Structure 1
Amino acid sequence: MALMHEKVLIDGSPEAYKEWATRYEEDSMQLGYSGHRSVVKKWQEYYDCKESLNGFVSKIIHKVFDAGCGTGFIGDEFASLTPSLHSTVELYGGDLSPDMLAIAEKKNIYKELQVVNLKERLLYPDESFTSILCAGVFVQGHSGTESLKNIIRVLKRNCFLIATIRTSFYEENKGAWIKEINDCNCQLVEETQMPYRHDVQAVVLVIKKC
């Protein structure tokens, strides 16, 4: 399992994930993967599920994009939340691997799933989503700073991208990450360490589109 995990980290192609897809969730559990829980927990800190309108409390429907959704771990986490919060979210997912998406689709959690390459322009219109979550994607061999502009384009203004980044991957090129965030007309509002797998933590960035 460890060998397969390392192989996919080096080769993040759809072919590599095709070989791993059926074992991905079991292997991730053995690794103690928890990046999805960290980004959803952070999302809850920044987004309120209700607003007051003329003295009445009404639900806000949050249109959330799970960028690099894999088999749907973030979807699973949203589904585990209280019904009052879960009912306020429309969850969309995109991933490079059709085989991973096929597993996510069977969960009936996502409103829509698409094959996407985060390194290329996404098919969604500008400012489609009120938040974007990204867990386990910004690692060597997968996606880096070159994907930020494509993700940010489909995020609404004054809204947040919340993403995990492997600590070493971020620290080695921190200047490039900050520059790209600024070039995308965004503000880095929080940088913190949160659980990622077993006793390993990763950087979680909260990026606001200005």
Structure 2
Amino acid sequence: MASENYASNGVATAPLTSVNQALNFGRDYSRLKNYYETWSADYDNDVSEENYCGPSMLADLFDSLHRAPRERQSLRIMDACCGTGLVGKELMLRGFAPVDGCDLSPAMTHLAHKTQAYARLYGGVDLTEHNPLIADNQYDATFCCGAFIQGHLPIEAIHELMRITTQGGVILFSTRCSFYQDEHFDKFLDKLTASAQLCALPSFMNAAYLNDVQAHYLAFAVNK
């Protein structure tokens, strides 16, 4: 897998912040949804204070794959786990047309709507399940930023991202380096590439994410 390494700070003991509290729900999605419903109003400010750069990094990665400006307005894009719309805003700044988005928390999608970066938004979407609201083979690119972390999406949710992406389309997602290692993400992705379901594209590895936290930003072409 091609990669680009970004310099970042070393790992430090994590303080008890809103971001870190969100890691402690053990994939109890009812409790996690309630947490984000309450947190939504303060989310942007809280992650900004921790220098969260995941959305801009993932948008930069996609930007490097689509250099022709004329293509950008015609691409169909889904921002899965869109939150308050940080990825959508980054894509809009880079000249992409309004995208679709979905999130577990309706309160978060309500805030995403205010960014004007989204054409359609779906609240209450659990990506660990097949969602009939989102059709198969619909998107040229599917993003998932900040959700492959402790207590949130399991690695198997990659299959739902693949389902809604077109043949030859792209999935792009971030994962904290620690989560990638603990969940054996490399072995899971190796199986998908060995079976030709995915084809690895250039990625950003060991890159900045939050204060003292690194992430991998991965891109794959989807084969069906």
TM class by shorter chain equals 0.7 to 0.9
What is the distance in 1 between the residues matched to 2:173 and 2:164?
15
**Alpha-carbon distance, 1:32 to partner:** 0.2
- 2:24 corresponds to 1:10: yes
User: How far has the Cα of 1:102 moved from its partner?
Assistant: 1.1
Query: Retained in 2: the 8 A contact 1:149–1:184?
Result: no
Q: Distance in 1 between matches of 2:57 and 2:121?
A: 22
Q: Structure 1 pair 3/177, CA: closer, same or farther in 2 (3 Å)?
A: same
The answer (yes or no) to whether the contact 1:49–1:61 under 8 Å persists in 2 is no
1:20 aligns with 2:32: no
Residues 1:134 and 1:110: Cα distance change in structure 2 (over 3 Å): same
Partner of 2:148: 138
% identical equivalent positions:
25
Higher relative contact order, structure no. (Cα contacts within 8 Å, ≥ 6 residues apart): 2
Question: RMSD over aligned Cα, in angstroms?
Answer: 2.1
SS at the partner of 1:160?
strand
Equivalent position of 1:77 in the other structure? 90
Deviations 1:118-167 (A, max 9, x none): 11113222110010111101111111222111110110111211111110
What is the Cα deviation at residue 106 of structure 1?
Answer: 1.6
Give the aligned residue type for 1:153: R
Deviation string, structure 1 residues 33-79 (Cα, Å, up to 9, x no partner): 0000011000011124456xxxxxx8750111001000000112123
Select between 130-139 and 193-202 the one with higher mean Cα deviation.
193-202
Q: How many angstroms does 1:180 deviate by?
A: 4.7
Does the 8 A contact of 1:148 with 1:181 survive in 2? Answer: no
Gaps of 5+ in 1: 52-57
Quote the residue 2:99 is aligned against.
91
**Mapping of 1:112-191 within 5 angstroms?**
112-115=120-123, 116-122=125-131, 123-172=133-182, 173=184, 174-180=186-192, 185-191=197-203
- Which segment drifts farther, 3-12 or 113-122? 3-12
Q: TM-score, normalised by structure 1?
A: 0.86
User: CA contact under 8 A between 1:148 and 1:180: conserved in structure 2?
Assistant: no
Match of 1:103 among 111, 116, 124: 111
Equivalent position amino acid for 1:97 in 2: S
Structure 2 CA distance, aligned partners of 1:141 and 1:184? Answer: 29
Structure 1 residue 192 corresponds to structure 2 residue 204? yes
In structure 2, runs of 5+ residues without a counterpart are 1-14
Q: Is the 8 A contact 1:145 1:177 kept in 2?
A: no
Distance (whole Å) between structure 2 residues aligned to residue 203 and residue 158 of structure 1: 22
**Taking structure 2 as the reference length, what is the TM-score of the superposition?**
0.81
Q: Which residue is 2:221 aligned to?
A: 208
Q: Cα 1:181–1:68, aligned 2, differ >3 Å: closer, same or farther?
A: farther
Give the letter aligned to residue 161 of structure 1: I
Query: Between Structure 1 and Structure 2, which shows a larger proportion of strand residues?
Result: 1
**Alignment: residue pair count:** 199
CA contact (8 A) 2:98 2:116 kept: no
Name which of structure 1's ranges 118-127 and 194-203 shifts more when overlaid on structure 2.
194-203
